[in-house]
Structure formats: C-alpha cells, structure tokens
Amino acid sequence: MREIEKINHTGEVPVMEPQRQFYFMDLAKQYVTQISRKKGRPLTFHVTTFGCQMNARDSEKLCGILETVGFEEIDSEEADFVIYNTCTVRENANNKVYGRLGYLSGFKKKNKDMMIALCGCMMQEPEVVEKLKQSYRFVDLVFGTHNIFKFAELLVRCFEEQKMVIDIWDDTKEIVEELPVERKYSFKSGVNIMFGCNNFCSYCIVPYVRGRERSRKPQDIIREIEKLVADGVVEVMLLGQNVNSYGKNLDTPVTFAQLLQEVEKIEGLERIRFMTSHPKDLSDELIEVMKNSKKICRHLHLPLQSGSSRVLKEMNRHYDKEHYLALVEKIKKAMPDLAITTDIIVGFPGETEEDFLETMDVVRQVEYDSAFTFIYSKRTGTPAAKMENQIPEDVIKDRFDRLLKLVQDISAKKAGALTGSVQDVLVEELDEQQEGLVTGRLSNNSVVHLPGDVSMIGTIVPVHLKECKGFYYMGEVAE
Ligand code: 5AD
Ligand code: SF4
C-alpha cells in the first residue's frame, strides 16, 4: 500500500476544460513531488502503446501530462507509473495485454509505490473491465477512449483513493483542445482531425469503442499545425478512422479536400500525410487536390478488405469490386507515381474460395506497393460475430499464405521503380543496423538508408537512389 499524505484541495475546482485539467495537473505534481522526496529520486514512467496511429497520438498526450506533473520517462516497464494504451481491433491484441500484465505484477511486488494504468479501446469492452476487476486487482487505474482528456484528474484520484479507479464513458461529444503533448519525434507529428467512426463495417469493433464521428474545427487543426511547425515539425499525418467523411457534421460543413488546401498553405510545413481513406467516399475533389498539391505525399492507403462484391456487401462496406477498381484506375491516371497500400481481411464468415479468388484478382490488378493482411478475428458485439459459416482455421491459413505470397511478390516487383533517380528524403533517425548511416522516407513512404549523421535528422535532403535492396533503397546525398 502506498503511503501518501492527502493534499488539501485549495480554491474552487474549475468546471470548464481544459482549466479543470490544469488544476488537477498542479495537484498531481504536488503528489509526485511528495513521493519523490520520500524516495530521494525522481519518479519514472513508461507508456506502452498497442495498435494504430490514433493510439500512438493519444500516448503522446498521456506522456505530455505525465511529464507536466513531474514524472521522467524511461525506456523500461520497471517504472513507477506504467500505462498500457490498448487496442482491441483483433482478439490477439487483447491476449497480448493480459499476458504482459502478469509480468508487470512482478515489478509491482518489488516497488510498492508503482502504479499501473490501462486505457484505450480494449477498456471500452465491459467484459474486459469485469475480468480486470475479478482477476487483475493490482491494476490502479482503468479508463477508456472518451475521457482520455481527464487523465490528470484520474491520476489525482489514483493518488488519493488507493483502490482501483475505473472510469469508462459510453460516448462523448466533447473535444478538449490545448492539453500538453510530448511528441515522440521533433520533426513529424500526428494530428487528429476527427474521432470515432460511423461506418459500422460488420466485422469491426472500432465504432463501438471509439464512438460516433466528431470532427475538430478547421481553425483548431490549423492552429495546432502552425504551432507544431513553429516548433520544428515539417511533416504531419492527419488522423481519422475515415478522413473522407471529415467535416460533415460541423456547424459549417467543410470537406476533407478543403481542409487539405488550408493545411497546404501553412508556411514551413513540407509534407502532409493522412490516414485512413474509406473507398466509399473518396471524392474527385480529393484526387484533384492531391494531384495539384506540392506537399501531400505520394501515398494513399485505401483499405480493400475483400475483393468479392458479395463479401463487401456482407461487410457493409458500401462499394463493390468494380467501384473499387474504377476508383483506383482514376487515381492512378491522375497520379501515376502514387504508392497505393491497403488492408485485407481473409476468412470473413461465409468467404468461399471464389470470393477469395476475387480478392487475389484485385490484388493482381491494383498491384499494391504493400498490403497489411489480417486473419478475420471474431469481435463480440459486431454483426459478423453472429454470422453463420465461420471459416475453419486451416482454410483461412491456406488462403492467408497464398495472399501473403502474392502481395510480397508484387511489392518486390514494384519496389525499386525509382532506382537511379534523385528524390527528396526526410531523414528520420540514425540507422539501427549500421553506424554511419541514417534512415529516412520518400514522399511515397519508401524507406531509404544513406550515409549521414545525427545533424541531418528532421531535414529533407535530395538523395540519389543508387540501389534497391528488397523493400528499401540505399542512396547518398545528391550534389
Ligand atoms: N478482424 C480482422 N481484421 C480486422 N480489421 C478490423 N477489424 C478486424 C477484424 N475483426 C482490420 C481492417 C482494418 C484494419 C485497421 O484492421 O482491415 O482496415
Ligand atoms: Fe472499422 Fe470500418 Fe470504421 Fe474502419 S471504417 S474503423 S474498418 S468500422
């Protein structure tokens, strides 16, 4: 049991956000100071992120608050405060968290001041919270996706209540701006443009755990990016479950293409990426804006999920094979140098060999630069979980292997198309494998290794792409 002297809350607790959270950050800071004095050393934290770019961005917000209240980040889970930001898109994501919690409890036995927190998508599932209450009593704090902005307030409750604090909301309309963020990279950043999803693809749990679609106001997004640029950021990744439906529910509706044009105007910003585009509402306006843009990167992630029109209907995707192929053709015609990547699910309930061959056919026709392939995972509460005719494991495995082979063969064939040319590379980090090299990315998201040093990180340099080695290029700075 932690020994903590309760600090008196002085003054009135603000009702408005974000002022309320700043009030709690101040209190949390006093608790952190108190405990670190007692221990004679600073308190440490570690954030472990599972899942997608949205979670990665949320984790930066958690880090921002933990640093503001006086914790120091360390690279190990043997810290005073450990938080898992969880994912639940597939069942194995959940299993990973349970597995690792067992290992964390060992650290907690050695450090009685240690606090363990869980947040993110998995916490929005009632069965998960029930299981934590029953079998993982050593967890100190559990919260979900809708109230992450209240982290400072929950942290204070954790210091004061000394029992498992659980706060899960079903949904929210609130978007709280201006809270601290600690970015992982100094030169690039994710920027949320919207939260939630209204699409209810029949296999997907995201709409249930992330709630309904809410777009941030364009002014707030632009202001955030301007601040990031002033702080050294040259590349932003605009984040939303389906960016193509951005702005539809704002008081003054704005399209995603219009937002992109506003972002393009920000001086000092060099590259714009975005994730994810739903094929059902990718507009001609967007294609036009991308084509004419100097900053939008030559990469589009366009999830296919299945190539069978019958399966797509069952998946509630609102497009068919022909529509998807026609869309890709239109996009390729407008931007021949665009890299296209995708997500594909194998083994959706009722998927026949013929359905699967339709998927293979689309992969062959589109020639994706790369593709994420997933085995269908049954998520309780989604319509697909109740569908009859779930596919046996061995059949799925066989299809998955065939698809993966095709995807890899095509990627290998497509890689290297730019060999011999000079392209801009944003240098991102020192090469992990070899000293004296740095690693960066092309506009089309391909990885490039080149001779260089730490001073180049965050800069965009022209690079002669000398050789393609499988999935990456070797190059050197062009004269
Ligand atoms: N099973 C397997 N893959 C899934 N995805 C979403 N839900 C499931 C599921 N139940 C995949 C989709 C989506 C990606 C982020 O995760 O392909 O595009
Ligand atoms: Fe899930 Fe479909 Fe929404 Fe993507 S668009 S998050 S796959 S429901």
Give pLDDT tens digits for 210-237. 999 999 999 999 999 999 999 999 999 9
Cβ atoms of 360 and 368 within 8 Å: the answer is: no
**How many angstroms does the Cα of residue 315 sit away from the middle of ligand 1?**
11
Kindly give the number of the ligand 2 atom that is closest to the alpha carbon of 305.
7
What pLDDT is attached to residue 479? 79
Is 141:118 a contact under the CB 8 Å cutoff?
A: yes
Query: 397 pLDDT exceeds 90?
Result: yes
Is residue 174's pLDDT more than 90? no
Sequence ranges of the binding site: 52, 87, 121, 197, 201, 204
Q: What is the pTM of this model?
A: 0.94
Q: Which residues are paired to 80 by β-bridges? A: none
Tens of pLDDT along 420-474?
999 999 999 999 999 999 999 999 999 999 999 999 999 999 999 999 998 899 9
Burial 347-376 (b: 16+ CB within 10 A, else e): bbbbbeeebbebbbebbeebebbbbebbbb
Say if ligand 1 is within 6 A of residue 374 CB: yes
CA of 204 to the centre of ligand 1 (A): 6
Rounded to the nearest integer, the mean pLDDT of the chain is 96
For range 89-98, the mean pLDDT: 94
Q: What is the pLDDT of residue 438?
A: 98
Q: Is 342 or 112 the better-scoring residue by pLDDT?
A: 342
CA–centroid distance, 159 to ligand 2, in Å, is 37
16, two tokens: 């408005």
The secondary structure of residue 217, as a DSSP letter, is: P
The answer, yes or no, to whether any atom of ligand 1 lies below 6 A from the CB of 317, is no
Ligand 2: residue of 197, 209, 374 to mutate (most ligand atoms within 8 A of CB) is 197
| Statement: residue 10 has pLDDT above 90 | no
pLDDT at 2 > cutoff 80: no
Residue 177 is predicted with a pLDDT of 85
Dist CA 124 CA 170 (whole Å)? 8
Q: How far is the CA of 65 from the centre of ligand 1 (A)?
A: 31
- Whether 185 has a pLDDT exceeding 90, the answer reads yes
In this structure, what are the phi and psi dihedrals at residue 345, rounded to the nearest 5 degrees?
-105, 130
The percentage of residues in the chain with a pLDDT greater than 70, rounded to a whole number, is 100
Q: Which residue has the tokens 């990665």?
A: 56
- How high is the pLDDT of residue 1? 58
Residues in contact with 479: Cβ distance below 8 Å, sequence separation at least 6, in sequence order: none
Residue nearest atom 4 of ligand 2, based on CA coordinates: 241
Provide the annotated binding site for [4Fe-4S] cluster: 52, 87, 121, 197, 201, 204
Give residue 283 CA to ligand 2 midpoint distance, Å: 18
Residue 371 has pLDDT above 70, yes or no: yes
Q: Nearest residue CA, atom 2 of ligand 2? A: 201
Q: Which ligand is nearest to the CA of 206?
A: 2
Quickly list DSSP for 241-304: TTGGGTTTTSSS---HHHHHHHHHT-TT--EEEEE---GGG--HHHHHHHHH-SSB-SEEE---
- Binned at pLDDT 50, 70 and 90, residue 173 comes out as confident
User: Over the stretch 343-367, which tens digit does the pLDDT of each residue have?
Assistant: 999 999 999 999 999 999 999 999 9
pLDDT digits (tens, 9 = 90+) for 20-77: 999 999 999 999 999 999 999 999 999 999 999 999 999 999 999 999 999 999 999 9
Backbone angles phi, psi at 87, to 5 degrees: -125, 150
Q: Which residues pair with 46 in a beta bridge?
A: 82
Q: Which atom of ligand 2 is nearest to the CA of 241?
A: 6
Specify the residue with its C-alpha closest to ligand 1, atom 12.
343
Ligand 2 site, CB within 6 A: 197, 199-201, 204, 206-207, 241-242, 278
For the cut 90, the answer to whether the pLDDT of residue 264 exceeds it is yes
* CB within 8 Å of 354: residues ≥ 6 apart: 308
Please name which ligand lies nearest the alpha carbon of 349.
1
Residue 476 has pLDDT above 80, yes or no: yes
